[in-house]
Amino acid sequence: ETGVTQTPRHLVMGMTNKKSLKCEQHLGHNAMYWYKQSAKKPLELMFVYSLEERVENNSVPSRFSPECPNSSHLFLHLHTLQPEDSALYLCASSPKTGNYGYTFGSGTRLTVV
Amino acid sequence: KQEVTQIPAALSVPEGENLVLNCSFTDSAIYNLQWFRQDPGKGLTSLLLIQSSQREQTSGRLNASLDKSSGRSTLYIAASQPGDSATYLCAVSNNNDMRFGAGTRLTVKP
């Protein structure tokens, strides 16, 4: 365990479903991130939160909705997804944005059917 | 926009060999560079973090170098072992985010 925990590990959902991914960190970090990893593509940054405020939304479709209720928890709410949204979704945290290394969770493998 | 490239995309070596993985980036105004390891279907494990003011970092059999002015980093793995087989990712940090290369898939054969 890295200190960043993601649940569930695997998720299969239909295109009309609504589901949420959860990320939790107990490292005392103030910045949290969502990344998407598709097959044979580099990791793509989706959202950045710093002290519970969203500081970056990297042109992500509105069917992905992040929520950061406190500095230890980050959610990604999913609705009406498409099959091409199937990917590994990774959460990361860092002490703050900028000049600090990241710690990643193990990811949620999402399959949209 | 920062672009990160890793060469080679895949590498297969016999056990015991020393090897070098390469990473290049287009914007030299970085805060730091981080090397990660990713096993199939798993998350990322941080290996080494080099701050922009540093030239290299070492951890065990791993040594990472950074030449910010030329936009290059290398990860040197000494005396490779089958357990080193994984995908190695290079990432550079600018401001609010970290940009990743596509990775080098390493196979170390017994």
Q: Token pair for residue B20?
A: 């070098």
Determine which of A26-30, A56-60, B101-105 has the lowest per-residue pLDDT on average. A56-60
Question: How many CB atoms sit inside 10 A of residue A72's CB?
Answer: 17
Residue of chain A with shortest Cα separation from B45: A104
Question: How many CB atoms sit inside 10 A of residue A84's CB?
Answer: 8
Closest-CA residue to B80 (of B38, B21, B22): B21
Q: Among B44, B97, B99, select the one facing A90 at the smallest CB separation.
A: B44
Q: Do A101 and B32 touch (CB under 8 A)?
A: yes
Decide if pLDDT at A1 tops 70. Answer: no
- The mean pLDDT value for A44-60 works out to 83
What does the DSSP assignment read for A65-107?
EEEEEETTEEEEEEES--GGG-EEEEEEEESSSSSS--EE---
DSSP three-state, residue B7: strand
Q: What is the pLDDT of residues B43-102, one digit of tens each?
A: 899 999 999 999 999 999 999 999 999 999 999 999 999 999 999 999 998 876 789 999
Residue B41 with chain A: CB contacts under 8 Å: 88, 107, 109
Determine contact, residues A90/A35, Cβ cutoff 8 Å. yes
Q: Report yes or no: B2 at the A interface, CB cutoff 8 Å.
A: no
Q: Among B41, B49, B96, select the one facing A101 at the smallest CB separation.
A: B49
Q: Report yes or no: A66 at the B interface, CB cutoff 8 Å.
A: no
Quick one: CA torsion of A39, B84, B34, B45, rounded to 10 degrees?
A: 70
Q: What is the pLDDT of residues B1-30, one digit of tens each?
A: 889 999 999 999 999 999 999 999 999 999
Residue A9, Ramachandran bin (φ over 0: left; ψ between -120 and 50: alpha; else beta): alpha
